[in-house]
Structure formats: structure tokens, C-alpha cells
Amino acid sequence: MASTATGTIKRLTDKGFGFIAAPDGVEYFFHQSACQGTRFDDLREGQRVTFEVGQGPKGPRAENVKLA
């Protein structure tokens, strides 16, 4: 079962992905398809989000990203 975490959107790209900074210092990659209840295009850097920690091909990633 995935653990739930909270973080802040650190960076968004125009290619449909971004990065979330978590309090533990880890940056989590997320793809626009991981957004739940909000559109990727409506997200802004600095917003707080909750997400589930998953594992991607290049390391940890955020899944089920929601505005906090």
C-alpha cells in the first residue's frame, strides 16, 4: 500500500510534468496523468498538495496528486 505524503509544487513544465518538494527533502516527479480532482494546467508553483509515494523507472514519483 502506498504511503500518503504532503509537499509543495516546486516546478512545473510545459511538457506535462512537474516536481513536488516534500518536507523530507526528496523531490518527487509527477506526470499530469497523476492529478486527481484538478487539472494539471490549473496547478501553480508553491501550491500545497497531497500525494501517494510510488516508484517510477527513474526513482520515486508522486501518484494521485491532489490539492491540499
Query: Looking at residue 54, what is its pLDDT?
Result: 95
Distance CA 2, CA 60 (A): 11
Listed by start position, the domains of the chain span: 4-67
Q: What is the pLDDT of residue 2?
A: 67
Would you identify the CATH topology of the domain 4-67?
OB fold (Dihydrolipoamide Acetyltransferase, E2P) (2.40.50)
The pLDDT profile of the chain, 68 residues, written as one tens digit per residue, is 568 999 999 999 999 999 999 998 999 999 999 999 999 999 999 999 999 999 999 989 999 999 99
pTM above the 0.95 mark? no
pLDDT score, position 3:
85
pLDDT (0 to 100) of residue 13: 98
Give the three cell numbers for residue 49: 498538495
Candidates 10, 50, 12; CA nearest to 27 is 10
